[in-house]
Amino acid sequence: MRDSGQAVVETAITLPLTVFLVLGTIQLFMMLQGRLMAEHAAFKAVRAGVVKHGDCDAMTHAAIAALLPSFTSYLGRGTPGATPEDKLANAFKARTAGMPNQNQFDPALDNGHNRSIVWIYRERPTTASVTALSEHDFDDPNPRANGEIGYRLEVRLVYWFPLRIPFANWVMSTMFRAAFGLGDRVGLIDPTMPVTTAKWQAIPGMTLGPLAGEFTTRFNARQWSFPITTSYAMRMMTPPRTRYFQTQNCPPAP
């Protein structure tokens, strides 16, 4: 009886850690996939922008279409459609069609997530450099007044990657939250004593900057996610137009 009781206690202590190691490893590999998909999405967004005069809608939709496989299994029975093409179209429509759902997770399909999927920052060209003359000098071989030849579309894309592995999602979110100096631990009833008593501290030099507020908002709503940031640049093949550069970044990016 004493040996069996000891085994039960040891199992109770080690099992949560073992489960987390397995689930955490799976979640980390999914984040790696998300990183690769985000790099591809940044390329697709820029590619759409350079042929669409820097249009934010075209760039955002191209990015979402590229990212779909990383956060939803749209080929399953949950997505309507008779063919894979139909299912892809319907999955894309669920995240982009109608206002204000132009760039949002679908809470019914994405485990309760209902906020924006991507933020797109246009580093260049700037709103000040896009004028009526841009229609004519975007492919001029002579330098403009600022010394630049033509226009380069430089984009920084933030993918709010949803963590989907149960247990590992909120544990890792809490770790990230602490590492970025946004809080010590989650205010939930934890199934493991080590998680409850963990003293996760901020890592010097790590900061989310302007992403901190959005991360905290999602965290407090228990929409466990991690912002994956990547960038891409390409020379514009069409002139940037002022109507697409009323603001520097593509909404909802601040």
- Give the model's pLDDT for residue 195: 47
In DSSP terms, 225 is beta-bridged to 162
Pick from 155, 161, 163, 170: which is nearest to 227 by CA?
161
* Neighbour count for residue 29 (Cβ, 10 Å): 11
| Tens place of pLDDT per residue across the chain (254 aa) | 455 666 666 666 777 778 878 988 999 999 999 999 999 999 999 999 999 999 999 999 999 999 999 999 888 887 888 999 999 999 999 999 865 558 999 998 899 999 999 999 999 999 998 988 888 887 776 776 666 767 899 999 999 999 999 988 988 888 888 888 887 655 444 544 444 445 556 667 667 888 999 999 999 999 999 999 999 999 999 999 999 999 999 999 88
- Give the model's pLDDT for residue 246: 94
Pick from 190, 155, 231, 176: which is nearest to 31 by CA?
176
Single-letter residue type at 131: T
- Give the model's pLDDT for residue 193: 47
In DSSP terms, 132 is beta-bridged to none
- Give the model's pLDDT for residue 171: 84
In DSSP terms, 233 is beta-bridged to 154
Q: Which two tokens stand for residue 179?
A: 């590492």
Helices (H), the chain: 2-51, 56-71, 84-96, 134-137, 168-179, 193-197, 212-220
- Give the model's pLDDT for residue 189: 45
pTM: 0.87
Residues ≥6 apart with Cβ < 8 Å to 83: none
Q: Which two tokens stand for residue 136?
A: 């004519």
Q: From CA 126, how far away is CA 211, in angstroms rounded?
A: 21
Pick from 245, 28, 37, 70: which is nearest to 157 by CA?
37
